[in-house]
Amino acid sequence: MVELTHEPIDALRLLARAQQPQAGAVVLFLGITRQFTAGRETAELRYEAYAEMARSELAALEQQARGRWPLVECAIVHRLGVVPLAEASVAIAVSSPHRAAAFEAGQWLIDSLKQTVPIWKQEHYSDGAAEWVHPEPPGF
Amino acid sequence: MMKIKVKLFAAARELASGSEVVVELSAPATVGQLRAALAREIPPLAPLAERSLAAVNAQYADDADAITPDDEVALIPPVSGG
């Protein structure tokens, strides 16, 4: 299941979805808005997506993860718009019969999401400045 | 000549002052030619366009891929979701 939303993410709903009798392990990852980055204070983050493509890239990640690991549930939700401090911009809940697959799939999903899914973050700093984040690729 | 509409996001949208721009290219055209035309016609966008990818019909595309006016084309600056 993949989803884009402008509302706060209900992590407990994702956990309930992942917590099935065929599973023996559930892993939940939340990416949340951090107040300080390299000493600079963030007031909030804002996210924008190429929604149609982001949904299809997220669905492709779910399919790839299901091909690599025996997942019972694989739920990925990304929030768009303003995400206040300590609130989740992304949530990934995976469940599998044994824990290794759930941990590995969860890590792979968030790492891959950050590299391929067309979603962008704008930092809004406490001093009023705003800046889109467009990371330089490694070795660029 | 053909007109290609290009969707823009994040800093690319702000640098070009719009979420969509129209670029004229001679047919047949490729994604690489489109990226070069964007950089040429919107100079503030050039440095970011240089390190962006492109998508055709919501799928990542290579510079050698062909584009037509019927395609949905987007410039994808380095992503930062998560």
Q: How high is the mean pLDDT of chain A?
A: 96
What is residue B30's predicted lDDT score, i.e. its pLDDT? 96
Q: Decide if B82 and A119 are in contact by the 8 Å CB cutoff.
A: yes
Interface of B with A in 7-66 (CB under 8 A): 7, 9-11, 14, 48, 51, 55, 58-60
Confidence of residue A20 (pLDDT cuts 50, 70, 90): very high
Average pLDDT over every residue of A78-105: 98
Q: Best of A2, A47, A53 to disrupt the B interface by mutation (most B CBs within 10 Å)? A: A53
Residue A17 within a domain: yes
Residue A138 within a domain: no
Domain count of the fold of chain A: 1
Domains of chain B: 2-76 (3.10.20.30)
Q: Decide if A50 and B9 are in contact by the 8 Å CB cutoff.
A: yes
B71 Cβ under 8 Å from any chain A Cβ? no
CA–CA min distance A36, chain B (Å): 16
pLDDT at position A137 over 90: no
A40-75, pLDDT tens digit by residue? 999 999 999 999 999 999 999 999 999 999 999 999
CA–CA min distance A40, chain B (Å): 18
Confidence of residue A35 (pLDDT cuts 50, 70, 90): very high
What is residue A138's predicted lDDT score, i.e. its pLDDT? 60
Q: Decide if A120 and B51 are in contact by the 8 Å CB cutoff.
A: no
Q: Decide if A48 and B9 are in contact by the 8 Å CB cutoff.
A: yes
pLDDT at position A140 over 70: no
Q: Identify the three-state secondary structure at position A84.
A: strand
Q: Decide if A117 and B10 are in contact by the 8 Å CB cutoff.
A: no
pLDDT at position A136 over 90: no
What is residue B35's predicted lDDT score, i.e. its pLDDT? 92
- The domain spanning residue A51 has which CATH number? 3.90.1170.40
- Name the closest residue on chain B to residue A88, using Cα atoms: B82
What contacts A2, CB < 8 A, 6 or more positions away?
A55, A58, A59, A61, A62, A75, A76, A77
Residue A139 within a domain: no
What contacts A71, CB < 8 A, 6 or more positions away?
A65, A94, A95, A96, A101, A102, A105
Confidence of residue A79 (pLDDT cuts 50, 70, 90): very high
How far apart CA A25 and CA A85 sit, in angstroms, is: 29
- Name the closest residue on chain A to residue B76, using Cα atoms: A118
- Name the closest residue on chain B to residue A130, using Cα atoms: B11
A101 lies in which domain range? 2-127
Q: Give A-chain residues touching B79 at CB under 8 angstroms.
A: 114-120
Residue A65 within a domain: yes
Q: Identify the three-state secondary structure at position A70.
A: coil
- The ipTM assigned to this model is 0.95
Cα A1 → chain centroid: 13
Average pLDDT over every residue of A115-133: 97
pLDDT tens track, chain B, 82 positions = 899 999 999 999 999 999 999 999 998 999 999 999 999 999 999 999 999 999 999 999 999 999 999 999 999 999 999 9
